[in-house]
Each structure stands twice: as C-alpha cells, then as structure tokens.
C-alpha cells in the first residue's frame, strides 16, 4: 500500500499534463501511486497516458466534470492519503515530502493543506525556494474560520478514511466543489495548514468565460443551500464557523462577478446570503455592497 495516492483529473490538456506528470516523477519522496482520470478528452490524452505504462494508472470516463473525475480516482486509490493535483499545475521536488513531514509531525491529521505559488510562466517558479517547514495546526477545518489563507483542492492531502466517509466530491458541475468538500470534512479530527514551503505551482489562465462565471455563482448558491438544508456537520454549535467560511466565499465571488460584468449574478448571491449575513453578522458588506456594485457597473459601462 503506498502512502500517497495522487489523483489528477484531466480534460483536453494533453500538453500541460505531461509537464504536470514530469514534476510528479521528480519527487524526492517516492512512496506513491499516480492515478490520472481522463474526463472524456478528445485531444489525444489517452495516447499520452499510454506512454507512461505502469507508472500511471489511467482511468477514463465520459465527460462528467472534475468532481466525478476525482471521485473515480478515489474509488481506485489504495494509499493512506489522497493528494489532489490539477493537470495544469506543477509540483516542487519537495511537495510530497513536505506533506509527509506535516502528517507525521501531527500524528496523522485528517486534512493537510499546503500553500500555492501562482504563476503564468514556468520561469517564475524558479524563484520559489525550499523554505523551512512552517505549519499551523487546528482541531478541525471549521476551527480555521478566523484564518485568511487560500483554500483549494490543488493543495490538499486528505486521509483516505475521512474522504470516503464524507462521500468524496459533489458531482454537481460547479466551481468551488473543493470548498464544499472541505465543509463536509469540517469536523474530521485534525487539520494542518502548511504555510511554508510552498508546495504547488498554481497556473493562472487569462480571463473568465461566461460559463465559468455562471458555475462560480452556482457553486456558492449550492453551498448556501447545503447549509440551509443542514447537510454540513457540526450542528448549531459550529454554525457561526461554517457561515464565516461560506460567506467569505460569497463576498469574494460577488466582487469577482461584478468585476467580470455579471452584476445580476452577484446580486442574486447577495440576496441568497442576506439571512446568513444577518446571523454572523456582516453589516459592512450588507450595507456597502449594493452601492459599490452600482458604482462599479456604471464605471464599466462608461469605458
């Protein structure tokens, strides 16, 4: 049984996938298996994967989205921890050894989350150094509600038992399905944030398509709905922490939507989240967002 199962969902990224896999096979720690889930690619991804032979377990499904692709990888994984990597991102040689060090330091936490270095050109990553380990430990994920670090699936290592207990990712095709997973893992014991060294090169792409904006809106609407239906753990006792985390996402996404010219989607999220904002409360956002949105939208139209 390997210590790590690396699950990489991919869709029509044959060229980038090869770059990603090169950084996986350059790891200092080698106790891992690699599972790549081809989510119905039409660009020759299957032929690329075939060249790796037994070094990669290639799985394929009809196009169903990242959540379903990751779940298929989880089903076939045999490691103690599952590490998620997007097929356009890159690792540093110390990535897996850093996760392992944090796991051993804290006695096997349910979730370890690293820190990413954003890049547009791979040359930028040459400046990222292997800094000394710097970590922050919490009783569980909900206990991080007061912290401000970036949270995303591309820097996650999750204990297999916990991942399967909560059912993996939602298969609803939304953005921020990784946040939904974290909320369902919210009370699993032990959460560690690795502040340094940075463990993932997160590739930034130009622009946001209309479909991405709609999926971003749908992701936060889905989280608000799941919270209202009581689908996240922790009960009333942990409600404030859950809402703090979810509403941070709402505020970020509503500003993103306005900035990308979709104020109607931003306003819909604002309305859906008002009751939750009253419970926290977040008066500055509730009172300040509508006039800010109007001013920002008018400025965009005048350009």
What is the pLDDT at residue 105?
Answer: 98
Q: Structure pTM? A: 0.95
Dihedral sign (CA 280, 282, 283, 288): negative
Q: What is the pLDDT of residues 219-268, one digit of tens each?
A: 999 999 999 999 999 999 999 999 999 999 999 999 999 999 999 999 99
Q: What is the pLDDT of residues 62-89, one digit of tens each?
A: 999 999 999 999 999 999 999 999 999 9
Q: Is the pLDDT of residue 153 over 90?
A: no
For 4-203, CATH number out of 3.90.550.10, 3.30.540.10, 3.40.1190.10, 3.40.50.720 equals 3.90.550.10
CA distance 277 to 233: 19
Give the residue among 141, 132, 84 at the shortest CA–CA distance from 109: 141
- List beta partners, residue 90: 201
Domain positions in the chain are 4-203, 210-302
Q: Could you tell me the pLDDT band of residue 208, with boundaries at 50, 70 and 90?
A: low
Coil, helix or strand for 3? coil
CA distance 264 to 254: 10
Q: What is the pLDDT of residues 88-126, one digit of tens each?
A: 999 999 999 999 999 999 999 999 999 999 999 999 999
Which two three-digit tokens encode residue 204?
């930034």
């Amino acid at each position: 049984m390997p210590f790590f199962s690396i699950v990489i969902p991919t869709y029509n990224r044959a060229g980038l996938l090869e770059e990603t896999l090169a950084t996986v096979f350059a790891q200092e720690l080698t106790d891992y298996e690699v599972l790549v889930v081809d989510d119905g690619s039409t660009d020759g991804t299957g032929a690329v994967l075939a060249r790796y032979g037994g070094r990669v377990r290639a799985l394929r499904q009809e196009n169903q989205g990242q959540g379903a692709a990751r779940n298929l990888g989880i089903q076939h994984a045999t490691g103690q921890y599952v590490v998620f990597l997007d097929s356009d991102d890159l690792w540093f040689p110390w990535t897996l050894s850093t996760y392992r060090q944090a796991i051993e330091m804290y006695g096997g936490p349910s979730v370890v989350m690293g820190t990413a270095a954003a890049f547009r050109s791979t040359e930028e990553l040459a400046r990222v150094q292997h800094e000394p380990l710097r970590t922050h430990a919490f009783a569980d994920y909900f206990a991080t509600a007061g912290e401000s670090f970036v949270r995303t699936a591309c820097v996650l290592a999750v204990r297999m038992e916990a991942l399967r207990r909560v059912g993996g990712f939602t298969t609803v095709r939304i953005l921020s399905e990784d946040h939904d997973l974290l909320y369902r893992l919210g009370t699993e014991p032990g959460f560690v944030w690795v502040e340094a060294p940075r463990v993932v090169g997160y590739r930034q792409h130009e622009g946001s398509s209309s479909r991405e904006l709609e999926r971003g809106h749908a992701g936060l609407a889905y989280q608000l709905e799941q919270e209202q239906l009581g689908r996240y753990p922790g009960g009333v006792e942990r409600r404030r922490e859950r809402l703090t985390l979810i509403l941070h996402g709402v505020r970020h996404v509503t500003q993103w939507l306005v900035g990308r010219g979709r104020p109607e989607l931003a306003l819909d999220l604002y309305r859906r989240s008002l009751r939750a904002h009253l419970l926290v409360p977040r008066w500055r956002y509730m009172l300040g967002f509508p006039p800010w949105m109007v001013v920002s939208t008018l400025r965009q139209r005048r350009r």
